[in-house]
């Protein structure tokens, strides 16, 4: 039985669909399974109410499970949905529950660039859970994706341009980032689930070399493809420095998000696919053709 935590999300849903198609038993948890997982239930998954903020629900969800795929996050959550509760404590509780239930393989979706001293707490939590897992007795594989193109290109750039003819960029938009499709991450997790020799590995995943680009490059691409001339507003680095401090007591998630935005506006983070493609049989999605089809829809 494969347990998927975050099954209503982009990566989690993809993994659930793949696993069901392959004939695996799948259990999915969500805080609101009726509305968020009705489709997967229809496709044959066992869906249950579960919350990373509730240890009892995690212990129950891990019963009779051989594999756990942990793809949930709560970057922008507040209060009992905060990142500290969900991304940090909740994931440590999930690892403990998996250990107690004798789980054979725990696949954790972290993030490319997660480090102990990252300026964003979210990335520090990801790093902390990686360490927690590697020091646990649970057999694990860690997956570290770059930025998802559905979120960072489509949601943040394409949609505002098409809907409002304007777009807000954090900082100067001149640093290089890499964009990956969540389906490629799903593809890698499917491989990991069927190849026990991946236990103990930490795997970075990003899009192909041509997906290394600046945010300004992406805006230019969208402008050309849509034949538009949107108003581009750059939120200054000074604002990105000050605003997180003001927001922190009221909205720690937004505060973290802006810290991340400042970080990626001041650091190049290209991705080299060679180590990934040498070891894993993946077809990575190219941003430009994907964007063309997305814009046509
Ligand atoms: N987006 C990116 O660019 C990016 C880059 C690198 C790494 N990642 C990582 O990739 C993973 C998958 O991201 P995604 O974009 O596929 O996720 P997503 O679509 O944003 O979905 C988030 C998921 O988290 C679940 N969740 C949130 N709070 C929860 C809680 N308290 N208890 C249980 N589940 C909870 C949600 O489930 P319900 O709402 O149904 O409960 C939902 O299924 C995440 O770990 C993310 O940090 C993302």
Digit-coded pLDDT (tens) for 203-213? 999 999 999 99
Residue tagged 């990626």 (tokens): 264
CA 85 to ligand 1 center in whole angstroms: 14
CA dihedral 58, 61, 66, 67 (to 10 degrees): -70
Confidence label for 84 from pLDDT (cuts 50, 70 and 90) = very high
Q: Which among 178, 188, 184 has a CA at the least distance from the CA of 271?
A: 178
Q: Which among 199, 67, 66, 190 has a CA at the least distance from the CA of 141?
A: 199
The DSSP symbol for 209 reads: G
> Which residues are CB-contacts of 198 (< 8 A; sequence separation ≥ 6)?
141, 191, 192
Percentage of the chain exceeding pLDDT 90: 95
What is the per-residue pLDDT for 297? Answer: 77
Q: Report pTM.
A: 0.97
User: CA-to-CA distance for 73 and 30, rounded, in angstroms?
Assistant: 12
Q: Is the CB of 9 under 6 A from ligand 1?
A: yes
Confidence label for 193 from pLDDT (cuts 50, 70 and 90) = very high
Q: How many helices and strands in the chain, by DSSP H and E?
A: 15, 12
CATH code of the domain made up of 2-146+181-206+271-285? 3.40.50.720
pLDDT in tens, 27-78: 999 999 999 999 999 999 999 999 999 999 999 999 999 999 999 999 999 8
Tell me what the mean pLDDT of segment 248-266 comes to. Answer: 92
CA 101 to ligand 1 center in whole angstroms: 23
What is the per-residue pLDDT for 296? Answer: 81
Q: Is the CB of 111 under 6 A from ligand 1?
A: yes
Which stretch of 38-42, 114-118, 252-256 has the lowest confidence by average pLDDT? 252-256
Rounded to the nearest angstrom, the gap between the alpha carbon of residue 143 and the centroid of all alpha carbons in its chain is 10
Q: Which parts of 107-230 fold into alpha helices (H)?
A: 121-134, 149, 159-164, 182-194, 215-226
Tell me what the mean pLDDT of segment 72-91 comes to. Answer: 95
Average predicted confidence (pLDDT) for the chain: 96
CA 71 to ligand 1 center in whole angstroms: 6
Confidence label for 147 from pLDDT (cuts 50, 70 and 90) = very high
What is the per-residue pLDDT for 118? Answer: 92
Q: Is the CB of 14 under 6 A from ligand 1?
A: no
Helix, strand, or coil (residue 6): coil
Whether 13 has a pLDDT exceeding 80, the answer reads yes
Tell me what the mean pLDDT of segment 117-137 comes to. Answer: 96
Tell me what the mean pLDDT of segment 83-105 comes to. Answer: 98
Whether 125 has a pLDDT exceeding 90, the answer reads yes
């Amino acid at each position: 039985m494969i347990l998927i935590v975050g099954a209503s999300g982009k990566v989690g849903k993809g993994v659930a669909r793949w696993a069901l198609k392959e004939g695996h038993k799948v259990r999915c948890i969500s805080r609101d399974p009726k509305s968020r997982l009705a489709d997967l239930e229809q496709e044959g998954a066992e869906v249950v109410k579960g919350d990373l903020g509730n240890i009892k629900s995690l212990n129950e969800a891990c019963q009779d499970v051989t594999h756990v795929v942990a793809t949930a996050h709560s970057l922008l959550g507040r209060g009992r949905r905060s990142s500290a509760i969900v991304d940090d404590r909740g994931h440590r509780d999930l690892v403990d529950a998996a250990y107690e239930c004798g789980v054979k393989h725990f696949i954790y979706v972290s993030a490319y660039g997660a480090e102990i001293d990252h300026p964003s707490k979210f990335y520090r939590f990801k790093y902390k859970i990686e360490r927690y897992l590697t020091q646990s007795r649970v057999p694990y594989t860690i997956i570290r994706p770059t930025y998802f193109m559905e979120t960072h290109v489509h949601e943040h750039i394409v949609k505002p341009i098409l809907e409002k003819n304007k777009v807000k960029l954090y900082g100067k938009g001149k640093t290089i980032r890499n964009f990956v499709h969540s389906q490629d991450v799903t593809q890698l997790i499917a491989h990991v689930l069927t190849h026990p020799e991946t236990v103990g590995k930490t795997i970075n995943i990003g899009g192909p070399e041509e997906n290394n680009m600046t945010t300004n490059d992406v805006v230019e691409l969208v402008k050309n493809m849509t034949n538009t001339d949107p108003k581009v507003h750059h939120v200054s680095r000074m604002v990105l420095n000050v605003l997180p401090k003001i927001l922190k007591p009221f909205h720690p998630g937004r505060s973290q998000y802006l810290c991340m935005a400042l970080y990626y506006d001041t650091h190049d983070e290209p991705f080299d696919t060679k180590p990934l493609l040498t070891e894993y049989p993946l077809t990575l999605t190219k941003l430009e053709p994907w964007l063309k089809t997305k814009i046509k829809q």
